[in-house]
Each structure stands twice: as C-alpha cells, then as structure tokens.
Chains A and B, each alone.
Chain A
C-alpha cells in the first residue's frame, strides 16, 4: 500500500475559456497577452475523418492526422486555475471542439474586421451547446471600421450576445474581453441579476 502525505492530497480545480475564431484572427496572440506562461502547443491524433482516438491500440493501421492547439494559463489562486484554449483554425475538427468545450465556463469568438465571416462556425457551435460567449472584434489597423450594428448584422448575433472591441496584443484589452465572458456566464446563471 502506498503511503501518502496528507498535504499533497489537494488538486486545484480548473476552469476554462475557449478562444475561437477563423484562421489568423489573433487567437494565439490574445491567449499570449494574458497568459502567465508562453502559450503552449499540443497536438491530438485524430482519424482522417476527424474523430478522436481514445485508445492507441489498433491505431497502427489507421490513417491519422494531427490537430494542433495552443493554450495559456492564469493561476487564479492556489485552488483555481484558469486555462485559455485556442481552437484549431480548421472547422472540420469538431471532435476536438467537443473536448475543448466540455465544461467550459464560456467562450470568446474572435473576429477580424478584415474578414468578418470567419466567426460563423464558432458562433453556431456555442449557440447550439448553450455555452455563453462574447464576440470580440480584433481591430487590426487598416481593417475596415464597422459600427456595432454592422458587426451584429454581419454575424447575425442579437443584443443578448456581448460585443467588445479589442486589441489582441494588448493585455488590458484582453483582460476586459475575459472579464466580459465571465460576467456574461454569471448573468446566465441567474437571470434575475443580469
């Protein structure tokens, strides 16, 4: 029987926020702006059809592909750690999205004013799962400046979804985005306090 020191028996809780959006919109930049570690990259093996491999036995003969995702961490206190996971750019890896979204407190759908249409897949995914999300518009200089109404209209999101402008390279700006996600998640918990 293994002997265990009691002070080692605690494991923190983790919470996560998913950072989604189209290719090259600044997801990794946003994660890096607020993370206490340089964003880490990890890969998952998937079957060619995009399904997750749970068990390595029998994987040998199968055609597989890898999907990369990066993430950062913010230690809230010794009991709670917040992880920020950037979704893979390619929308076809929905199985990866399932694992990413499992238990997430909320999500950021990052869009880029040069290509507003990159957020549709993510918006649809979070709406169907009932995961609270905010739309954050990463304001690349030289990008077209849209009014809030134009962005809402282009993305087909109503007033119930918070919309924030941000600069994914700026820590304070990204903190505000995360705070909006958490506040939005809290408002969903108890509609009376929204």
Chain B
C-alpha cells in the first residue's frame, strides 16, 4: 500500500486528483497569489458565519489558531500544497485568516533579522 493511499484526498481507483478537484467543485478559483511555502498564516477569532465552509476549511481554522506556515498546514491536512493554498485563499479572502507579508520575504532580510536568526540557531 502506498503511503499516500490513506490520505483523504487520494482515491484508490481514480487517483490522487479527484478529491482536490471535488473540493473546488470545478469552479475557477485562483489562489491568493502571495502564498509561499513559508508564509505564516493565522486564524483570527471572528464572528463571521462559517456555515459556507467545508470540513477542510474548518480544520485549517483549527490548525492555525497558532501561527503556522502554509507548508505545515498542507502537511497536517495531508493535502497537496496547492489544495492548502486554495483553501487558505478562501479563508484569507473571507478575513478569517491573516498572513505575514510574503512580498517582504523576497527582499533581502536585514542584518538585524539575520543576527537574530544566527543567535537563535546557536542557542538551540
């Protein structure tokens, strides 16, 4: 048995794509373009109506009560990254999830930040 076959998005007969495709129900739903693997996401406590959300959306909301990266969300959901990104994009657009500014990641980190990271690595 392949390790993937137990994942919720994997369909033994039809292959790995059925579930993610079903999740977006054939609608065109581009991901919010600024999500990178390492982008931090965090659910905020809202009073918004969650009745339109899928089980997977709610699972993500639960997972990221503490800040997590997009990659961690995908890993804990056992879903491909693109699926996690699509679902997170829905939540971001609803205002239920906030993110770190991924565009800042592309610019060179400043010396201060690097020094903190260096000190942190030495301290572990």
Contacts and interface: CB of A to CB of B under 8 A. Distances in A.
Interface of A: 2-5, 8-9, 11-16, 34, 36, 40-45, 52-60, 64, 66, 71, 73-74, 76-77, 80-83, 85, 99-100, 102-103, 105, 175, 178-179, 182-183, 185-186, 189-190
B72 A40 contact: yes
Query: How many interface residues does chain B have, given as a range?
Result: 35 or more
Interface of B: 4, 16-17, 20-21, 23-24, 26-31, 36-42, 44-48, 67, 69, 71-72, 74-76, 80-83, 86, 95-96, 98-100, 102, 104-106, 108-111, 113-122, 124
B82 A36 contact: no
A45 B74 contact: no
Contacts of B111: 186, 189-190
6 contacts: A2-B95, A40-B71, A58-B28, A71-B37, A102-B105, A189-B108
Given A57-B28, A80-B120, A189-B111, A45 B20 contact: yes
B86 to A, nearest CB: 6
Nearest to B100: A11
Contacts of B117: 15, 76, 80, 82, 105, 182
Contacts of A9: 44, 98
A41 B108 CA distance: 27
B17 A64 contact: yes
Given A11-B42, A73-B72, A189-B108, A56 B21 contact: yes
